[in-house]
Amino acid sequence: MKRFFPILLALGGLLQVAGSADPSAQSDSTSSVSKKKAPAKRKAAAKKAPAKKAPAKAAPAKKATAQKAAPKKKAPAKRVTRHYKPAPPVDPTEGDNVDGDDLTVRRAAVAALGTMNGAVVAVDPSNGRVLSIVNQKLALKSGFVPCSTIKLVTALAGLSDGAIERGTFVHLSRYTSYNLTQAIAHSNNPFFQRLGNQLGYDRVTHYARMLGLGEKAGLDIPGEEPGAWPEKAPGAGGVGMMTAYGENILMTPLELAALLSSIANGGKLYYLQYPRTTEEAGDFTPKLKRTLELAPDGISDVKIGMRAAVDSGTARRAGYDPNEPILGKTGTCTDFRMSSHMGWFGSFNEVDHNQLVIVVMLLGTRTVSGPVASGVAGAIYRNLSEQHYFVADARGSSEPQRILSTSPCCSR
């Protein structure tokens, strides 16, 4: 036994060493596991972190910003009304010779024209006598763009050449059609462009020459210059630019007055004569230039359109009076040769006695127009009507006397 005792002691020591080694191993493995578990916890925390981040709460703020940045609805555009300055006042009577004038007509014309830069021509359509010209220097010049008054020539040419009838509707656009009466009343440009192109330059020229355009309207009127008719159609737009707008045409107030006189009297184109003394006025003798060769109903058809222009169209300012109706045609455009806006109104009334042709031509800024000119003519007719001028024997003989302008700025 004694010999085995040391062996037992050695085995016991070995067992103690082994026992002490086990806890350290367990401790190492435990620490290693804990070290390995730590990253896993951090990863889990990292995965959960986005749910706690502030940007998720800031999202509504982004929406609010987006809402603020959204464009606001535009308010409806306001209609801009342009106001043009009128031309400076003038004395349109300056330099006029009134000897031989019908002074009743002249006073009415001077009062209606006022201080506007323009001219008025009054004619007796039954014989071609010029009763008065206000602003003679302007009225006798070599011509102006006729604007839409040229449509009277186009209408007579189309009716006489058989290109159109008064009741024929012309389809101009998807929803627009006009007949001749409506086209004259409302001065429709596409209608007369199409009609002019259909007629062609030669036919339009034939009727324009017949109606007195491009030649002197008067007979031995001192200082009168003729208008001008173009030798060919405009390169841009063709004949239609002539027949709707009067492009390249020059017309005088006297030429328009003679043309309107021939419509008013049923087809006789008289030489216009302007008596310069009471003796010449007393010895006046009409002189016929030619009888118009037009369609039998051409003049009456055009008259219907001219009456509609005053009753409900572009010449409404002339004034509607069923007892003394006015027939007319307006014209508005720019005469680039003179850098001036223009307003025309050619007219006559239908009365039993002392029928008149009145032509008003205005120059100036965009404040002048055909409708404005029709208002001037209407004032003349009304003034004379109030004086019972259009009744039998209303024209009395009176000694010529100098007319003074009633406007404060233009007395002389």
Is there a domain that residue 19 lies in? no
Burial class (CB in 10 A: 0-12, 13-18, 19+), 220: exposed
Structural contact between residues 12 and 18, judged by C-beta atoms closer than 8 angstroms: no
In a domain, 284, yes or no: yes
CB-based contact 142:228 (threshold 8 Å): yes
Domain assignment of residue 220, given as a range: 103-369
Residue 73 lies in a domain: no
Residue 350 belongs to domain with CATH number: 3.40.710.10
Asked if residue 136 belongs to a domain, the reply is: yes
DSSP state letter for 313: S
231: confidence class by pLDDT, cuts 50, 70, 90: very high
Query: pLDDT at residue 50 above 70?
Result: no
CA dist list (Å): 264 to 29, 98, 125, 208, 303: 129, 26, 6, 17, 8
What pLDDT sits at residue 86? 78
Residue 7 pLDDT exceeds 70: no
Beta strands in 144-239 (DSSP E): 170-171, 177-178
- Average model confidence (pLDDT) for the chain? 84
Q: Is 116 exposed, middle or buried (0-12, 13-18, 19+ CB in 10 A)?
A: buried
Is residue 18, in this structure, part of any structural domain at all?
Answer: no
User: pLDDT at position 67, please?
Assistant: 52
| 3-state percent breakdown (helix, strand, coil) of the chain, nearest 5 | 45, 15, 40
- Give the pairing of strands 340-349 and 357-364: antiparallel
Domain membership flag for residue 97: no
**Helices vs. strands in the chain: H and E counts, helices first:** 13, 9
Q: Which residue is associated with the tokens 């118009």?
A: 292
Residues 403 and 98: beta-carbon distance below 8 Å: yes
Higher pLDDT, 391 or 125: 125
26-40: average pLDDT: 41
Greater confidence (60 vs 181) lies with: 181
Residue-wise pLDDT for 169-205, tens only, equals 999 999 999 999 999 999 999 999 999 999 999 999 9
Q: What is the pLDDT of residue 407?
A: 42
In the chain, the number of structural domains is: 1
Q: Is 232 helix (H, G, I), strand (E, B) or coil?
A: coil
Query: Which token pair is 211?
Result: 């109606």
Residue 345 belongs to a domain: yes
Confidence category of residue 33, pLDDT binned at 50, 70, 90: very low
In a domain, 87, yes or no: no
The larger pLDDT score, comparing residue 411 to residue 361, is at: 361
User: In the predicted model, is pLDDT for residue 20 greater than 90?
Assistant: no
pTM of the model: 0.78
Q: What is the pLDDT of residue 87?
A: 79
User: What pLDDT was estimated at residue 200?
Assistant: 98
